[in-house]
Structures are given as C-alpha cells and as structure tokens.
Structure 1
Amino acid sequence: MFRNRQDAGQQLAARLVAYKKQNPVVLALPRGGVPVAAEIAAKLDAPLDLILVRKIGVPFRLELAMGAVVDGGSPIVVRNEEVIELAGVSEDEFKAACERERAEVERRRQCYLSGRPPIEVAGRAVVVVDDGVATGATMRAALRSAAARKPSKLVLAVPVAPVEAIAALRKEVDEVVCLEPQEHFYAIGPYYDDFRQVSDDEVRRLLAPHPATATA
C-alpha cells in the first residue's frame, strides 16, 4: 500500500494540512517513525522531535509486546497484563526486561539528541507519528507521555494499524488519522514495498533540518 516510509508520510501529511494553522509540533517514534514524521513536519512547517519509547518484549518472543517504557524524569511504563499472564512472565522477568529497554532509551537519547532539551509542546497541537501500530502498547505509552505535557490537541497519525488497536488508542487522543485500518493484521512490514530498517545515522540526518528540535 506504501512504496516506503516517505510515501506513507506524504500521504498522511495530505490528511493533516488543517493543523498547519495550529502551531503544531510533530513527535516521532524512532526509528521507523522518523522518516514518516519528517514528511509531515515539512508539510506543516512544524518542528520535529522524538518520543523515546521502547517496547518491552516477552523474553522468549521479543516481537510480542508485554509493555512499553517512555523516557522522562519519571519514566512512564505501560503494562499489557493479558500478554504478561498468557506468557507466564514473572514480575522479576518483567522488571529486568523493562530495565534493558530503559537503557536502550537512554542510549538513543544521547545518540539522537545529544542531551538537547525537548521542544515545549504545552498549548500546541501535537501530532504523534509512527510507521504503523501493531499491538498498540508502545504507542499507548508514547501518547500518555505526550498528553502529560499538556498539548492543546493530541493527534495520532499512522499509515496502518489493526482496527482493534485504533479503537483502543482513540481513548488516548483527540483525533486518529490512520490511512489503512485493517481487520486482519499480522505485521506492519507487508504493507510497504520497502521496509528496510532505519539507521541511527538516518534518524540524525532527518532531525538535522529541524533546528527547532534543539530549542526548549
């Protein structure tokens, strides 16, 4: 359905142009969400920043989210209790996995932002972007983190997601823009012709044209 992440971003941007007059900020989930968000930020003349969030995967099946953690002075941890119970994950195993992902969040913060403060979003329209949603646990954590920063409006923008996840995430935001909500969903990658992994260097390159990222 999408040639690549840039194509998905351009299609989303066309649906978001009304926000150009609302002093928007675009927040991307790295790494895959950054090329999508960069296209939106360019179209909206908006600063681009990151929400540093990591999925907490089941130890024996890392792609299955049992929770997520978001960077911050008081990190937000979202738990998927159903997955934790079904997978038989102990509290100690969950905490250990959470700490590993918090360490990766810190690595990415230094790698991408070099200690730069986040953009102030209070009173502004915030568009949170990723290249797709699977279970929704990671995105839920990101949205709660963004909401805590008191935007005037909170918008979720993704190219593709399962309809159940979108229904759950609507409770966290003022608006959802999803180009391809799917009844039968297995993974994000099949909806892209080119879904190659985004590198750290590409994330830094895409952030560089947005100097507002470096301002509080």
Structure 2
Amino acid sequence: MIRHDKKLYNRFHVFKDREDAGKKLASFIPDFDVVIAIPAGGVPIAVEVARVKKMPLRVLPVSKILLPYTTEAGFGAISMFGDVEINERLASGLDEETIRLQIEKTKEKIERRLKIIPEKFLKYESANSAAIVDDGLASGFTMITAIKAAKRFYREIYVVVPTASTSAVDLVEKKCDGVFVLNLRDIYPYAVADAYEEWHDVSEEEMLECLRNFDPQD
C-alpha cells in the first residue's frame, strides 16, 4: 500500500523546513501506536508528528554507511541491533578495506548515539502498529534496515516520510505494511534536500534539543 499526495507529485521545495514537513505529515496519516524516529534528520519531523497526533515517540538508531568523502550519500545502513543492508551496486566500486572502515565508523556513530539519546526514547514496548519516520527516502536502504530492526517489537510497520523517490518507495513497500509519502518524485537525479526550502544536516546537538523539548501533551 502506497499513499502519496498527488498535488505534490514531482514538485520541488514543497516544505519550508523539517518542522513544516512534520506538521503536514501529521495531517496526512492515520493514528499509530507509536512514532519511531530515525536519527538524526528524522527526529525533528517525528517530534512534530508525535506532538500533533499525541502519539508516543521513540528513536531507533539506524545510520547509513557513508561513501568516503561525503556526509550524505551512503552504500548501505546498519541498525543498533546489527542489522546490515548493503547496496551492492554502490559498494561494488569500493575495495574491501574501505568498506570495512566505513562500516566501523557507522557502528561507532550508533554506539555514541545510544549513549547520548535519553533512555526513555529507547524503550521499545511491543505494540500493534508503528510509523517509522525519516526526512526522506533516496535509495531506501536506511529505511529497510530500520524496518528489519523494528519488526522485533511491532506487528505492523508503516513508513512515513515527507519525500521519496519512486525507486526507494518500490523497494521499501515490499518490506512493510504501507508507505505514506507527501512528495513522491520519479525525476532523476533525486535528492531529499530538493523537497525543502531550508535544508541542513541535523547535528546531534539539534537532535537532542528536539527530544528535550518534546512533550506529547503540547
């Protein structure tokens, strides 16, 4: 099941920022038992979704395995439970030592985040339905890694994102119970940032501030 906003199909800069995207997502989706944020960029969006919908918020440390010399593009992803997904097409251009080093860096990032994220956001009680939120889907490999991790606790898994490429949605939809995306694009090349007027990499400090300020009763 895939639901998208036809008015936003193949459009650019449709969200002011992540906060705006989160509020618009909240009005687009049904209720779920829990909202799961993928750090760091998914946290500001998930906070808005959870606040508006009055739903519990959890954070699931999953991180893309970055290609060397970039802070955005990855060739796979790892979860806090050790789930690994590799984009073989992109990884084929790297030597084994580079792949090993990038995987180790990703594991170190996840371990660091597990130490700094408040414990209450890392308690994954069993529930019927969960919405996994990120700021967008480019390749989809980070999300399918998150889905694999979340299936330990939740019977139904839904992907909720402001923007996504059609190729990523096609990949992810096979792994979950449904995808909700506002801004679907099949234009190549695809970049998550193109859906936002204001875009920046979310730092761990900004992520923690969002979590500190989160109150589901607001």
Query: What is the TM-score when the length of structure 2 is the normalising length?
Result: 0.85
Please give the alpha-carbon distance, in whole angstroms, between the structure 1 residues aligned to 2:85 and 2:113.
19
Partner residue of 1:98 out of 97, 103, 106: 103
Describe the shift of the 1:63–1:34 C-alpha distance in structure 2 as closer, same or farther (beyond 3 A): closer
Check whether the contact 2:78–2:142 (CA below 8 A) recurs between aligned residues: yes
Aligned counterpart, 1:64: 73
- Cα deviation code 1:154-182 (max 9, x no counterpart): 11001111101101100111110010110
Query: What is the TM-score when the length of structure 1 is the normalising length?
Result: 0.85
Q: How does 1:2-13 map to 2 (within 5 A)?
A: 2-13=15-26
Partner residue of 1:174 out of 164, 172, 177: 177
Please give the alpha-carbon distance, in whole angstroms, between the structure 2 residues aligned to 1:53 and 1:121.
18
Please give the alpha-carbon distance, in whole angstroms, between the structure 1 residues aligned to 2:24 and 2:102.
36
Check whether the contact 2:51–2:215 (CA below 8 A) recurs between aligned residues: no
**C-alpha displacement at 1:207, in angstroms?**
1.7
Q: How does 1:73-112 map to 2 (within 5 A)?
A: 75-85=82-92, 87=93, 89-112=94-117
Q: Does 1:157 align with 2:166?
A: no
Q: Secondary structure at the match of 1:54?
A: strand
Aligned counterpart, 1:197: 201
Check whether the contact 1:48–1:207 (CA below 8 A) recurs between aligned residues: no
Q: Secondary structure at the match of 1:186?
A: coil
Please give the alpha-carbon distance, in whole angstroms, between the structure 2 residues aligned to 1:82 and 1:103.
24
User: Which one has more relative contact order, counting CA pairs under 8 Å at least 6 apart?
Assistant: 2
Aligned counterpart, 2:27: 14
Query: Which consecutive residues of structure 1, in runs of 5 or more, have no partner in the other structure?
Result: none
Describe the shift of the 1:147–1:100 C-alpha distance in structure 2 as closer, same or farther (beyond 3 A): same
Amino acid at match of 1:8: A
Structure with greater helix share of residues: 1
Check whether the contact 1:35–1:206 (CA below 8 A) recurs between aligned residues: yes
Please give the alpha-carbon distance, in whole angstroms, between the structure 1 residues aligned to 2:167 and 2:214.
34
Describe the shift of the 1:211–1:173 C-alpha distance in structure 2 as closer, same or farther (beyond 3 A): same
Aligned counterpart, 2:5: none
Give the CA RMSD over aligned residues: 2.0
Please give the alpha-carbon distance, in whole angstroms, between the structure 1 residues aligned to 2:87 and 2:126.
29
- Cα deviation code 1:107-146 (max 9, x no counterpart): 1121223x55722342331110011111111111111111
Please give the alpha-carbon distance, in whole angstroms, between the structure 1 residues aligned to 2:115 and 2:165.
33
Q: Does 1:147 align with 2:148?
A: no
Aligned counterpart, 1:130: 134
